[in-house]
Amino acid sequence: MNFFGLESAPDKPPPDADFWEWSGAIDLKDIANQYGLKVRRSVQGSIVVVYPSPVNVQLVEYADDCLRDCRGYLASFPGIPTIPPAEALAEFRRMGGKVAAAHNGFIPNYPEAWPGYVKDAAQSLFLAAMDAIEEDQGGIR
């Protein structure tokens, strides 16, 4: 089972991997195992992180730094499970995000107290959930 999403990341850098990108993936793997984060690939192909409740802003900040370091390495990493759009929407809402209808589309609304990097993490889930948001137009909250 690939619960956290990075279980198959090698303990030593592959010969063709960028060392810093690989080390960011190993750091992200370690905090995922320790704190219950889930690393997923959206149906659009982007890498998103699902955080446990309640959202710890320092954990999001550290994981976001690791993800920024390893995004290139993870882009082609084969072992990351896909998050379905409906699950991404549920996780976005569980974090505290809301979806609002806007002219010809939808926008995310976040708690004002959230720092920018938490909003960025939620924004990734919002974008991963777009298909479900469009299907769930009557359930805008």
CA atoms of 128 and 41, how far apart (whole Å): 9
Per-residue pLDDT at 140: 59
pLDDT at 141 over 80: no
The predicted pLDDT at position 115 comes to: 92
More confident residue, 86 or 138: 86
pTM, whole model, 2 decimals? 0.86
Q: pLDDT band at residue 126, thresholds of 50, 70 and 90? A: very high
Report the alpha-carbon distance of residue 135 to residue 70 in Å, rounded. Answer: 32
What pLDDT was estimated at residue 1?
Answer: 43
Helices (H), 3-83: 19-35, 57-75
